Each structure stands twice: as C-alpha cells, then as structure tokens.
C-alpha cells in the first residue's frame, strides 16, 4: 500500500520501519528532524498524505491530533483511511473521526499496547474503534505492526478500551509493588513470593510478565535500573484520560482515582519522571506506614 505516517517518534519510527520492511511505500513527516530508513520524508504533513491509501498518525495528545487533522484531512484522497494510533481522550478521537467521515474518509482510532519494545518487534496489540470497512483495509498493516488487533466497535471505542486496560494496569502495578515491599518487611524471599503469586490467584501481567523486582521473573525494566519500557509519566497520562472519561460518563472509579493520585505524586513530586512505571517498587521500599 501507499502509506503516510505522521509522527515518527519513539513509537512511530519503528512502526513505520516495519511497514517498509514488509514492502509498503511509506512517506513520513515529523516536526523533528528525523530519519527512518526506507521512509521518504516530506516537507509537511499535508504533502505527506497526498495520494496515500492509509494515513497513520502517532501523536502526543488530543489537541495535537485535532490540529494535525485540520491540516491533513483536506489533503487526503476520498476513500482513504485515517488510522490514528495515538492515545488521546475519547472526545477528541470521536471529533476527528466525524471530521474525517464528513470528508469522505474512513476513520479508525487504534491506540496500542506493547510499548517501544512491541513497536520494534512488531508485536503490538491494537484496540480499534471505527467502521468495519476501514478496519478490513487496515488489517494487513495491523498484521505487520502487531500480533493482535481487536475491533472494539464505533469510533472512540479503541480509546475507551485502551484507557480501561491501562487503569487496570496502573492499579495492579501499584499493588504488586506494595506486596513486594510488604514481603520484604515480613522476611519473605522475593523469588519465593514470585513463585507462589505467579501461579496463584494473585497472578497478573504486572507480576508474571513485567515483574517490578530485579532478578525475579522474566527480564523487565527492573533489571536495567528501571530504564523506561513504559514511562511513569505516560502511565499518569493514561490514568488521567481514564479519570476524564469516567467523569464525563458518570462512572465511579475509586481505585483508578487512587492510582492516578499515586502516580501524580510519584512523577510530579518525587523521582518518578523518566523512570519506568514499575519503579513504584523502590518508592515503597523506602517508605514506612504513617
């Protein structure tokens, strides 16, 4: 396919590179001066999307997505697919989708799970909202960039699935870190705790796959000094999006609110910025009750 890719940062660049490797014709644009092997760089976003069958975006937030949409939607060819892989608020995703549909385009919101490692390895999970026709057009691209794509329903539902997933992830990582810190104080060996919990009712992705304790379980950011695979500030962003959606929907989410408050404190008042979100463990290690 002829593809345009807007936003070639830590996630977008390896995703675009995988599309090139698979034989697709990719034209890219990023405000930063970046080079992605095999990607033809355009001078601007509108120039990049002209003639593209699918336009992918990977952008930092809803305001930037809206601004980019204003620029590229008029330049896209009718019938093309606007495939946004950013993680943004549900309202912005739905507004941009409506703008695209009004211009004769298919629109998909398809945030991802899997982090930079998943983007590089082509093992991302895509949570997709939008029309079925657009989803089928984009399916071969999902197959290249990821290992799973789930069509979650109409526009905005991809973002809804992402923020619900990450609300669970944020809360379970916190309690996993709390449990390791408690185990330390009770004299329980960390490996023994992992061996029990990872095969018992307390098991979770945070414990089994992304264990926050160094030297325990599969290799994770804990084993590299908590160098971010998924940065704490990105977790905070997603939790705040979840709380914004919960407020708009009138949903009661006390655990999500507690996780948001803890990550806000960790990132904005402590040393969490620039560290992996699992670095909550050393935070709890150094604290006492009170």
Which residues does the annotation mark as catalytic?
Answer: 162
DSSP state of 84: E
In the numeric block, the tokens 């150094």 are attached to: 286
Q: Residues near 235 by Cβ (< 8 Å), separated by ≥ 6?
A: 166, 169, 170, 173, 263, 277
Q: Residues near 201 by Cβ (< 8 Å), separated by ≥ 6?
A: none
DSSP state of 276: B
CB of 52 closer than 8 Å to CB of 26: no
Q: Long-range contact list for 176-179, CB < 8 A, 24+ apart?
A: 176/204, 176/206, 176/207, 176/211, 176/212, 177/212, 177/278, 177/280, 177/281, 177/283, 177/284, 178/284
CB of 114 closer than 8 Å to CB of 146: yes
């Amino acid at each position: 396919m002829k593809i345009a890719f807007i936003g070639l940062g830590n996630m977008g660049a390896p995703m675009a590179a995988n599309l090139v490797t698979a034989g697709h014709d990719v034209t890219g644009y990023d405000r930063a001066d970046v080079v992605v092997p095999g990607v033809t760089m355009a001078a601007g976003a509108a120039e990049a999307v002209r003639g593209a069958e699918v336009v992918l975006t990977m952008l930092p937030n809803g305001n930037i997505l809206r601004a980019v949409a204003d620029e590229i939607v008029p330049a896209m060819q009718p019938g093309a697919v606007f495939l946004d892989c950013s993680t943004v608020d549900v309202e912005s995703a739905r507004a941009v989708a409506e703008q695209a549909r009004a211009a004769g385009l298919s629109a998909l919101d398809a945030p991802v799970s899997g982090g930079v490692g998943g983007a590089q390895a082509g093992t991302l999970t895509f949570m997709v909202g939008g029309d079925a026709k657009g989803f089928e057009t984009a399916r071969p691209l999902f197959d290249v960039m990821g290992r799973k794509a789930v069509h979650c329903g109409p526009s905005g539902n991809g973002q809804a699935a992402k923020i619900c997933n990450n609300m669970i992830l944020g809360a379970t990582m916190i309690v996993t870190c709390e449990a390791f810190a408690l185990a330390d104080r009770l004299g329980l060996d960390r490996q023994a705790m992992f061996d029990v919990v990872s095969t018992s009712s307390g098991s979770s992705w945070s414990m089994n796959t992304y264990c926050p304790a160094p030297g325990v379980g599969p290799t994770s950011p804990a084993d590299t000094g908590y160098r971010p695979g998924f940065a704490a500030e990105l977790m905070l962003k997603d939790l705040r999006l979840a709380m914004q959606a919960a407020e708009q929907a009138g949903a009661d989410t006390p655990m999500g609110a507690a996780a948001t408050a803890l990550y806000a404190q960790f990132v904005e008042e402590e040393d969490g910025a620039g560290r992996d979100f699992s670095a909550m463990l050393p935070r709890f290690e150094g604290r006492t009750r009170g």
